[in-house]
Amino acid sequence: MSSKTGAEPRLRSLALRLTLWYAGSAFTLVLVATGYLYWALVQELTEEDDDWLAGKVTEVLRAVEARGADGTTLRQQVEAGGGRAGERILVRVDDARGPTPVVIETPGLSAAVPLSAFSDQTGAAHDYRSAAGRLYRLRSERGATGTVVVRAAMDRTEEDELLEGHRRRLSYVLILSLIASTVGGYRIARRGVRPIKGVTATARRIGPARLDERLDTRGLPAEVRDLAETFNEMLGRLEDAFARLSRFSADIAHELRTPVNALCAEVEVALGRPRDPDEYRDALTSCLEECGRLSRLIDSLLFLARAENPRTALQTLPLDVTEELTAIREFFEPAAADAGVTIAVDAAPGLFAPVDRVLFQRAVANLVANALAHTPSGGSVVLAAERESAGIRLDVRDSGSGIAAADLPHIFDRFYRADKARTSVSGRVGLGLAIVKGIIEWHGGTASATSGLGTGTTVTLRFPAGTG
C-alpha cells in the first residue's frame, strides 16, 4: 500500500508523462528506421551474394557440360572463383555416377565446409558457420543430365564483420538517440507546462482578500488560455458571491440589530422605575411585536436557505392556477377594499400547472401584498395567467408608484429596498421578492419585472411545463 501511494505522485506529473511519451515516440521512430535500414542492407547483400553464387555455379555447369570434367577451363574456374567484392568462392564438382564422387574442387573446400553442410535441394542457398567461425553462403546445383552436381561456398566472413560493425554503430546511435530524445522531451515538457505553473502560482496567490486579481492570458497556449479564462470566469463568480455574501451578512446584522435594540430599550424603560400593570402590559406587547418581527425575519432566511438547497424536494401536484388566483384575490379583497384598490383575476378557467401549492400561494401572496402596499387609493391590482409554449406565465400588475430604473435590476436581491424610508416604517425587510425569486427558481422557472415611475409595476413569473 505504501509503495503504491509513494509511486503515484511521480506518475501524475504531467512533465514526466510528456517526457516519457516524447522519448518513447522518438526512440521508437529511430529504432524502426534504423532497424529497417539494417534489414534492407542485409537483404541487398544477400541477394547480390546469391546472384554471384548462382552465376558461378552456372558457369561451372556450362564448362562441365561443354568440355567434360577434365577440361582446363573447368579447373581455372573452380580454382579462381571470386565474389561480388572479391569474396572467395569455393567450388566442388561431383559425379553422381562414379565410384569416386569428387571430380574436382577448390583446394581447402572440404576442410572448410564438410559435404554434409550442403543441402540436397538444388537451387537453394543458405548460410553456414564453420567450426573456425567463418561464415559461408552455400548453394548446390545439379546439371541438366543429372550426373554432375556443382556445390559452391562463398566466404562471407568479411561481409559478416562489416555487418557486425554496422550493428555496433547502430547500437551507439540508438543509445544516443534515447538519451537525446529523453533530454529533448524533458526540455519540451518543461517548456510546455511552464504556463501551467504560472497559472498555478497566480491561483495560489488568490485568496478571499484578492478575488479581484485575474490570470494573465496573454501569450498562453490555446488550451491553457481556455483553462485560464474559465478560471477567471470562476473568480468573477466567486467575487460576486463573496460580495453578495458580505452584503447579506451586513444586512442580516443590521436587520437583527434594530429589533434587538428595540427590545432592549423597551425592557430598560420598563425596568427604569416601578410601573402599574397596564404599563407593564404595554411594554410586553411592544416586546412581543419585536419578537414577532425577529421570528418572521428568521423564518424568511431559513426559507431562502432551504430553497437554495438542491437536495430539498418539491411537493408538486397539478394545480388549477385560475382557481388558486381567485382564492388569493378573495383573501386580499378586504385589505384591498380598505386601501381603496380594486383587485381582479384575468385567467382562463382550467389552467393547470405542476407546482407546489404552498410555495405558489406564498409567492403570489408576496407579490399581491407588495402591489397593494405601493398602489394608492383608486388604483388596481390584476392577477393574470396564461399558457405559453414552455409553461405557464403569471403576471401581477399594479397601477402603483412604480420603481425607478436604477432600482429595478436589484428588486429581487435580498434586503434590497427601493424606498428604504417607507419599508423601514412598515416593517418590511426586503426579503419578499427574494423569496418569490427563490420559489420560482426552485421550480425551475424565472422571475422578472418591468416598471415605470407613476405607471405601475408588472412582475412576471414563468413556471415551466415540466416542473417537479
Nearest CA-CA partner of 192 in 345, 435, 14:
14
**Range scoring the smallest mean pLDDT among 230-239, 265-274, 397-406, 416-425:** 416-425
Integer Cα distance of 151 and 112 in angstroms: 13
Is the pLDDT assigned to residue 345 strictly greater than 80?
Answer: yes
Mean pLDDT calculated for residue range 36-60: 90
Q: What value does the mean pLDDT take over residues 224-231?
A: 85
Query: In the prediction, which pLDDT does 466 show?
Result: 61
Share of the chain above pLDDT 70, in %: 87
- The predicted pLDDT at position 132 comes to 86
Phi first, then psi, for residue 208 (nearest 5°) are -55, -30
C-alpha distances in angstroms, 417 versus 255, 376, 401? 12, 18, 14
Q: Per the structure block, which three cell numbers stand in for 334?
A: 378586504
What value does the mean pLDDT take over residues 319-347?
93
Residue 277 has pLDDT above 70, yes or no: yes
Q: Does 412 score more than 60 pLDDT?
A: yes
pLDDT(143) > 70: yes
Per-residue pLDDT at 5? 46
Q: Which amino acid is at 301?
A: L
Burial (Cβ within 10 Å: 0-12, 13-18, ≥19) of residue 90: buried
pLDDT of residue 138: 93
Winning range, highest mean pLDDT, from 3-17, 100-114, 169-183: 169-183
- Enter the pTM of the model: 0.50
Confidence of residue 44 (pLDDT cuts 50, 70, 90): very high
Mean pLDDT of 12-40: 89
Work out the mean pLDDT of the chain and round it to a whole number: 82
pLDDT of amino acid 212: 81
For 353-376, what is the mean pLDDT? Answer: 90
The domains of the chain are located at 14-166, 222-290, 313-419+429-464
14-166: CATH, from 1.10.20, 3.40.30, 2.60.120, 3.30.450: 3.30.450
Distance, C-alpha 449 to centroid of its chain: 38
Summarised one tens digit per residue, pLDDT across range 67-100 is 665 556 666 666 665 656 667 788 888 876 655 5
Is the predicted pLDDT of residue 164 greater than 60, yes or no? yes
pLDDT at 8 over 60: no
All three cell numbers of 453: 415611475
Give the confidence band of 227 by pLDDT, cuts at 50, 70, 90.
confident
**pLDDT score of 309 more than 80:** no
Q: What is the C-alpha separation between 277 and 280, in angstroms, rounded? A: 5
Fold of domain 313-419+429-464:
Heat Shock Protein 90 (3.30.565)
What confidence score (pLDDT) does residue 3 get? 43
What's the full length of the chain, in residues? 468
Residue 294 has pLDDT above 60, yes or no: yes
Distance CA 444, CA 427 (A): 30
pLDDT confidence of residue 11: 53
What number is the average pLDDT over the span 50-79? 75
pLDDT at 71: 57
The confidence band for 468, taking pLDDT boundaries of 50, 70 and 90, is very low
Q: What is the model's pLDDT at position 4? A: 44
| 57-66, 307-316, 367-376: least confident range | 307-316
Residue 244 has pLDDT above 70, yes or no: yes
Tell me: pLDDT of 30 over 50. Answer: yes
